[in-house]
Amino acid sequence: MIDLQFSTEVKAAKEAGGAIVALESTIITHGMPYPQNIEVAAQVEQDIRNAGATPATIAVIKGRLHVGLEPEQLSGLGQAKGVAKLSRADMAACMATGGTGATTVAATMIAAHHAGISVFATGGIGGVHKGAETSFDISADLHELAQTPVTVIAAGAKAILDLNKTLEVLETLGVPVIAFGQDRFPAFWSAQSTLDAPLRMDDSADIAKSHAMRRALGLPGGQLVANPIPTQDQIPASELAPIIAQAQADADTHNISGKGVTPYLLQRIFERTEGRSLIANIALVRNNARLGAKIAQDLQKIA
Ligand code: PSU
Ligand code: MN
């Protein structure tokens, strides 16, 4: 039996039957530079509280699985060096050996489910990388969505990925992909892409109902809610395309592979947009946190 470490506020929310929204920690350690990472993490937690739910940031610290971090734990993690990036394959090994690691979408879903949390908000999920037909680089996040019953709110998938192939794999795996309030699948830094989302919903209560309906049908797996970045914060896809192509070429030149690919591309894009990619990233994560808080409360009403 694992000994989950609940933060004070998550423990209180669980006892009171309040709505809880899980948050990942890889975005803090591998997705954004210090010190903006901890400022954003604290801000996103506050957005969830302001929207009437309780945030639960998830991480492994010295072998213990934390569901909700105290402020000093959050800032310690955001400054720590050599923190592991944990997914389904290595979370248990990190806990068994007393290590410290940040949870990706996949690992956060596993932890949230263990803790009885059904809703998780983040920036973007991992997916099928460009050139996957030769590299086979497909994020474990997609398989996690197929087997762990957590509704994940993201701004679509990052434009560093092959969005078409990502949607195809999600379809194969039976993962509902629900665009919120629009027909198109959003592309992270840009609200629109050229791809239609398989499903569209305009009301958070319908997303909660759909989550509950899947459970009632005995279907494993979660849902991906693709929530577009607010248009005033987006970077047009046409402007980003050459920057992403250059970042990808740099990654190939430097033989970046495995877990290193996503953090490397994000860092290169941050440099080449002079930080604008980060500003957009912050806006979309906050937007997702607010929607997550609504869905978690809608789900609580059904339960
Ligand atoms: N979204 C961001 N920044 C990130 C990530 C997502 O804005 O750093 C992380 C998430 O934790 C996601 C992971 O699960 O990247 C995917 O990594 P990979 O492609 O190696 O599976
Ligand atoms: Mn990968």
Tell me how far the alpha carbon of residue 158 lies from the centroid of ligand 1, in angstroms: 9
Domains of the chain: 1-117 (3.40.1790.10), 124-303 (3.40.1790.10)
For residue 87, give the ligand nearest its CA. Answer: 1
Ligand 1 proximity of 24 Cβ (cutoff 6 Å): yes
Cα separation, 44 vs 50, in Å, equals: 10
Looking from the CA of residue 122, the nearest atom of ligand 1 is 1
Question: How many other C-beta atoms lie within 10 A of the C-beta of residue 249?
Answer: 11
User: Active-site residue among 45, 130, 144, 158?
Assistant: 158
Ligand 1 proximity of 31 Cβ (cutoff 6 Å): yes
105 is in an annotated binding site: yes
Tell me how far the alpha carbon of residue 222 lies from the centroid of ligand 2, in angstroms: 20
Tell me how far the alpha carbon of residue 1 lies from the centroid of ligand 1, in angstroms: 28
CB pairs under 8 A, 24+ apart, for 211-220? 211/118, 211/149, 211/151, 211/295, 211/299, 212/299, 212/302, 212/303, 214/149, 214/176, 215/149, 219/174, 220/146, 220/147, 220/148, 220/149
Report CA-CA distances (Å) from 142 to 30, 137, 146, 197, 298.
Answer: 19, 12, 7, 16, 25
ipTM of the complex: 0.95
Cα separation, 139 vs 127, in Å, equals: 5
Of 290, 296, 269, residue with least CA distance to 227: 290
Give the pLDDT of residue 2. Answer: 82
Give the pLDDT of residue 160. Answer: 84
Give the pLDDT of residue 238. Answer: 87
294 a catalytic residue = no
pTM of the model: 0.96
Ligand 1 proximity of 103 Cβ (cutoff 6 Å): no
Residues of the chain with pLDDT under 50: none
Ligand 1 proximity of 288 Cβ (cutoff 6 Å): no
Q: Do 45 and 55 form a contact (C-beta atoms < 8 A)?
A: yes
Give the pLDDT of residue 114. Answer: 97
Give the pLDDT of residue 174. Answer: 98
45 a catalytic residue = no
Cα separation, 96 vs 102, in Å, equals: 15
Looking from the CA of residue 259, the nearest atom of ligand 1 is 20
Give the pLDDT of residue 303. Answer: 80
Give the pLDDT of residue 143. Answer: 98
How far from chain centre, in Å, is Cα 302?
24
Give the pLDDT of residue 237. Answer: 85
Looking from the CA of residue 31, the nearest atom of ligand 1 is 8
Which of 138, 262, 265, 284, when mutated, tests ligand 1's pocket best, judged by the most ligand atoms within 8 Å of its CB?
Answer: 262
301 is in an annotated binding site: no
Give the pLDDT of residue 3. Answer: 86
Ligand 1 proximity of 104 Cβ (cutoff 6 Å): yes
User: Model confidence over 80-126: pLDDT tens digits?
Assistant: 999 999 999 999 999 999 999 999 999 999 999 999 999 999 999 99
Q: Do 59 and 101 form a contact (C-beta atoms < 8 A)?
A: yes
